[in-house]
Chains A and B, each alone.
Chain A
């Protein structure tokens, strides 16, 4: 179970940094974040991660600075949208991606993506941070500044225990 306080503070930090549209597909590691966004009426749950990226692209066209929440399994689903939509159209967003399979300690279906995810983000030229809990407010500001300056996606990778 998540403890509510870090998640609430993190959502505060994201909103203060300027993020104002939240879509995604859930992961238990960010359950508290999604619950807090839903409490605020700010979460748009999607059916697939690439569809969430499409919605985020539209929201950016409409003036929002979006966040897309996903488990790293969904990063695989998202690669074509990131490459052929967000990157070339210069559409920023924050990918809030959980790190299932971290250090090889997880269920079998998470191990391959858990191992290759940092390399995958590097290959796609997506700058990322994998913060400790006390670094969350600062990385929220970094993510917003970097997304705005580069007009490209950035990622915050959420390790187990950071938010849940």
Chain B
């Protein structure tokens, strides 16, 4: 499965969820597949997409928050798995796209081939934690993680795509992204 194939399979299930995308190719791929006023693309601050999603989930318990994370990002902020599990927000879904490399910087290997991140999430105490390797399993899991109580962690194995970005650069400015999410949530005019 490529990142774009996975995102295209998830997109039909997304409506009013607040989506937080980690930096680099994750954001570019997601922006190319589906943009929405409730989508937030993190272009810097690597590692913190999960923390941003956690803050949103805590501040807005009535909204479902979906974090589109990557293996490099999760490994950079591994404490977030413990913190999310301990806070146990029912409205948080944590997707981890695991291609085993830092794709945006030239495909240098991460250590995710030796460290199963979903097992760390499970041990930390996420309500659900699992791994999918193909589109059929993904299609079965996505409706569950989007509807059942979280926090949920789903590791999605993706293939390393050919060199080059999987989507366009984000055309929204960072400050525009902040304001459009806040407007969509009714907290800014």
**Residue A59 at the chain B interface, CB threshold 8 Å:** yes
Contact A61 B44 (CB under 8 A): no
Binds A, one of B51-59, B100-108, B126-134, B149-157: B51-59
In the assembled complex, the Cα of A83 lies from the Cα of B46 at a distance in Å of 12
Chain A residues with Cβ under 8 A from B182's Cβ?
Answer: 60-61, 63
Chain B residues with Cβ under 8 A from A81's Cβ?
Answer: 45, 48
Binds B, one of A86-94, A103-111, A120-128, A130-138: A86-94
Shortest CB–CB separation between residue B56 and chain A, in angstroms?
4
- B185 touches which one: A53, A61, A90 (CB < 8 A)? A61
Q: Mark each residue of chain A from 1 to 32: 1 if its CB lies under 8 Å from any CB of chain B, else 0.
A: 00000000000000000000101000000000
In the assembled complex, the Cα of A59 lies from the Cα of B178 at a distance in Å of 12
Q: Tell me if A's interface is mostly helix, strand, loop or mixed.
A: helix
Q: Which residue of A lies closest to B186 (CB)?
A: A63
Chain A residues with Cβ under 8 A from B59's Cβ?
Answer: 21, 58-59, 61-64
Chain B residues with Cβ under 8 A from A66's Cβ?
Answer: 55
Chain B residues with Cβ under 8 A from A21's Cβ?
Answer: 55, 58-59
Contact A59 B56 (CB under 8 A): yes
| Contact flag A58-B51 (CB < 8 Å), given A21-B59, A48-B79, A84-B44 | yes
In the assembled complex, the Cα of A56 lies from the Cα of B46 at a distance in Å of 15
What are 5 A-B pairs with beta-carbon distances under 8 A? A54-B48, A57-B52, A58-B51, A62-B56, A90-B175
